[in-house]
A = this chain, B = another copy of it.
Amino acid sequence: MDLYSGYINKLIDELAGLPGIGNKSAQRLAFHLINLPEARVQRLAKAMVEAKQNVRYCKDCFTLTDSEICPICANDRRDHTTIMVVENARDLAAYEKTGKYTGVYHVLHGAISPMLGIGPHDIKLKELMERLSGEQNIGEVIIATNSSLEGETTAMYISKLIKPLGIKVTRIASGVPVGGDLENIDEVTLLRALEGRVEL
Which residues of chain A from 60 to 103 have any CB-CB distance to chain B below 8 Å in the complex?
Answer: 63-67, 71, 88-90, 92-93, 96-97
Complex CA–CA separation, A34 to B97 (angstroms): 22
Across-interface contacts of A33 in B (CB, < 8 A): 18, 48, 51-52
Across-interface contacts of A49 in B (CB, < 8 A): 38, 41-42, 45
Find out whether the CB atom of B11 lies under 8 angstroms from the CB atom of A20: no
Size category of the A interface is 35 or more
Partner of A7, one of B13, B20, B55: B55
Q: How many copies does the complex hold?
A: 2
Complex CA–CA separation, A112 to B117 (angstroms): 52
Partner of A47, one of B14, B31, B66: B14
Instruction: Give the secondary structure class of A's interface.
Output: helix
Complex CA–CA separation, A13 to B43 (angstroms): 11
Which residues of chain A from 8 to 49 have any CB-CB distance to chain B below 8 Å in the complex?
Answer: 8, 10-11, 13-15, 18-21, 25, 27-34, 36, 38, 41-49
**22 pairs across A/B with beta carbons < 8 Å?**
A4-B55, A4-B64, A4-B65, A5-B54, A5-B55, A5-B64, A5-B67, A7-B66, A8-B64, A11-B47, A11-B48, A11-B50, A14-B44, A19-B29, A20-B29, A27-B90, A28-B90, A31-B88, A33-B51, A34-B51, A34-B55, A38-B53
